[in-house]
Amino acid sequence: MPEFHKYSFFNLQFSIRTCFSLLLFTILLTATETSAAQTWHTVRWVNDGDTVVLTTGLRVRYIGLNAPEIDHADQKAQPHGYRSRSFNRDLVLSRRIRLESDTERYDRYGRLLAYVFLDDGSFLNALLLQEGMAFYLYHPTNVKYDHLLMKAQQEAMELKKGLWRNWRDEAQKLIGNRHSRRFHLASCPLVAKIKSKNKVQFSSKWDAFQQGYAPSKKCIREFWSY
């Protein structure tokens, strides 16, 4: 009987130590994940309206938007491309930004996908959309601020800011995909691959953008090439 109490006490001590170790490990793991998901960094370089390079060398791509391109080796700058980059640069170059991740951390180019917050708490992703410096781009796995970002674009469209200021459009049949939130010309071969339940029709590009859809680059010219 005494032996039973001895080993029972030993087992109890072992269990307590084990539970404590597991608890400590969980706390440290959670803290590490939180730190990785929300971190402060300094911007070394601004590529364009939606991409920057940190002092660590890491490239960051803003989640939920797409800004017009600047000059590349094989492409001329798109309208508003340099204006969008200047707007972004004035806010972040050589300054601290807080990065917040979502479900998918990196894109196919190895860039960190992030929501960006300024020192004063401003949400840069939404601010760029609100000022018409980019258009809303839905991403099925990164939707933490999805509703807020789409509303920011709708506000810019209503006030005709930035990209939306001198909008010219024509009535045409466009088919959107509810799953991907991309829209296509009705004549695009990709339309045949969209399931019937996911098809939605628009009468103009403006209507498609207003509802949070973005152009499919594979079969339609991007909207700012007007």
The residues carrying an active-site annotation are: 61, 69, 111
Q: Give the C-alpha separation, 30 to 105, whole Å.
A: 17
The answer to whether 94 touches 79, Cβ cutoff 8 Å, is no
Strand segments (E) across the chain = 38-46, 51-54, 59-62, 65-66, 96-100, 112-118, 135-136, 174-177, 182-185, 199-202, 214-215
DSSP string covering 140-197: TT--TTHHHHHHHHHHHHHTT-GGGTT-------EEEETTTTEEEETT-GGGGGS-GG
- C-alpha dist (Å) from residue 55 to 37, 38, 58: 18, 17, 7
Torsion, Cα of 61, 163, 70, 183 (10° steps): 60
For the chain, the C-alpha Rg in angstroms (whole number) is 24
Phi, psi dihedrals of residue 112, rounded to the nearest 5°: -70, 130
The partner residues of 53 in beta bridges, in order of sequence, read 45, 59
